[in-house]
Chain A
């Protein structure tokens, strides 16, 4: 009988190089699934949020219900949200995506609406005076000016989505959450810590990436002094 190997896996250390190299593929697959779920959800939410925010901005009667419903959706705890969608989607990745879309929608609609409302009336009138039609006014004046607030919402929604994907482990589609869930049941410390740290890293990198995109898209917010001089 051979003695059990005395490496960090056998000792169940928190930090384990052998785990990182040995389970590289499992970790990579989990990261890819995590990213897919996050990106798909946030993109769908973005596509839905822009018209909703525009409708709430244009039609006064629409803003109450839109904000009310999204607030109610946001209050529902994530585990309950995923569970409520179970009869509709079954145990599938679509269930996790649907839940994440509903959460991201709230943050995006609120921020895009706040951005649109913050466009000064004088700016709007000036554009109209220059002969801008409603579509051109929206696309070339209102939406660009609403970009900083919208991007702030997008960053919060993305970071929240990265964190919430882990709850998807309850239906087996949780990206790195699956590894955390499995690691919990087997008391596999290295797996839980590695997956958790990767989760936080994904959130931070996504946030910084969106911040960089925001800076590229809104060059006028960077040089207030030069402009006023």
Chain B
């Protein structure tokens, strides 16, 4: 390695990473790519469902009532200041630490909630006041107003929040590997422990592609959705 030029070494690492990725034996078994991919997908999906179920109703009702705005808007800024890794380790050292995936799931849900809360709240509050007044004038109840007027009009921003939360979840599920959780990050940490740069790079490529695919999936959903969900003005 010492005699080769740094450029050549880099190319070697990339080809080594590629051959690591395409070798069939690395895809099977408990530590295989297939299993890690499944864990990552499962963690992301479960936590997205939990955080949506917790955050969206609260944000919708708060937005409808017009209360708690400062909290809903500032919670994203607070969330950004708290390192995900620190929260994961803190949870790991608390009494819930030994319970398998629970510290990871709690941390993931905590970090997915701020964008959901903020976007849903801002979306509902952003509905034109004249539209809301017109709906009230037509005799709509609060419930009807929320589900038939505010929710559809806020849909583009709510969907943006879900997209940010999903991408955030993929990223946080990767960090979970640092504290012994499952997911694709485990390939990276295992590579570091084995001092195998090709394995680290292969794992990183997998994680990056996974995150970009999730982002692309939401973009496709947005493009295929009816115009009122897309939020296009044209």
Q: A: which residues have CB within 8 A of B? A: 72, 75-81, 83-84, 86-88, 156, 159-160, 162-164, 166-167, 169-171, 177, 180-181, 183-184, 187, 189, 192-193, 195-196, 199-200, 203-204, 207
Q: Is the CB of B93 within 8 A of A192?
A: yes
- Complex CA distance for A163 and B69, rounded to whole angstroms: 25
- A84 — which chain B residues lie within 8 A by C-beta? 201, 204-205, 208
A181's contact among B10, B90, B178, B204, by CB below 8 Å, is which? B178
- Complex CA distance for A205 and B179, rounded to whole angstroms: 28
- Complex CA distance for A181 and B88, rounded to whole angstroms: 11
- Complex CA distance for A180 and B170, rounded to whole angstroms: 22
Q: Is the CB of B89 within 8 A of A184?
A: yes
What are 29 A-B contacts defined by CB distance under 8 Å? A72-B212, A75-B215, A77-B208, A78-B175, A79-B178, A80-B208, A83-B201, A87-B9, A159-B80, A163-B81, A163-B83, A166-B85, A171-B192, A177-B86, A180-B86, A180-B89, A181-B89, A184-B92, A184-B93, A184-B179, A192-B89, A192-B90, A192-B93, A196-B87, A196-B89, A199-B86, A203-B80, A204-B81, A207-B81
- B212 — which chain A residues lie within 8 A by C-beta? 72, 75-76
Q: Is B107 interfacial (CB-CB < 8 Å)?
A: no
Chain B at the A interface: mostly helix, strand, loop or mixed? helix
- Interface residues in B34-93 (C-beta closer than 8 Å to A): 77, 80-87, 89-90, 92-93
Q: B: which residues have CB within 8 A of A? A: 9-10, 13-14, 77, 80-87, 89-90, 92-93, 167, 170-172, 174-175, 177-179, 185, 188-189, 191-192, 197, 200-201, 203-205, 207-208, 211-212, 215
- B84 — which chain A residues lie within 8 A by C-beta? 163
A166-B10 in contact given A78-B175, A83-B203, A184-B179 (Cβ < 8 Å) = no
Q: Shortest CB–CB separation between residue A191 and chain B, in angstroms?
A: 10
Q: Is the CB of B80 within 8 A of A77?
A: no
- B211 — which chain A residues lie within 8 A by C-beta? 75-77, 80
Question: Known contacts A79-B178, A204-B81; can you find 17 more A-B pairs with CB under 8 A?
Answer: A76-B211, A77-B175, A77-B208, A79-B185, A80-B205, A84-B208, A86-B201, A88-B10, A159-B81, A163-B84, A166-B83, A167-B175, A170-B189, A184-B93, A192-B89, A193-B90, A203-B81
B85's contact among A83, A159, A180, by CB below 8 Å, is which? A180
Q: Shortest CB–CB separation between residue B204 and chain A, in angstroms?
A: 4
- Complex CA distance for A203 and B77, rounded to whole angstroms: 11
B188's contact among A83, A164, A189, A193, by CB below 8 Å, is which? A83
Q: Is the CB of A77 within 8 A of B171?
A: yes
- Complex CA distance for A187 and B9, rounded to whole angstroms: 38
- Complex CA distance for A79 and B93, rounded to whole angstroms: 22
Q: Is the CB of A192 within 8 A of B177?
A: no
Q: Shortest CB–CB separation between residue B160 and chain A, in angstroms?
A: 13
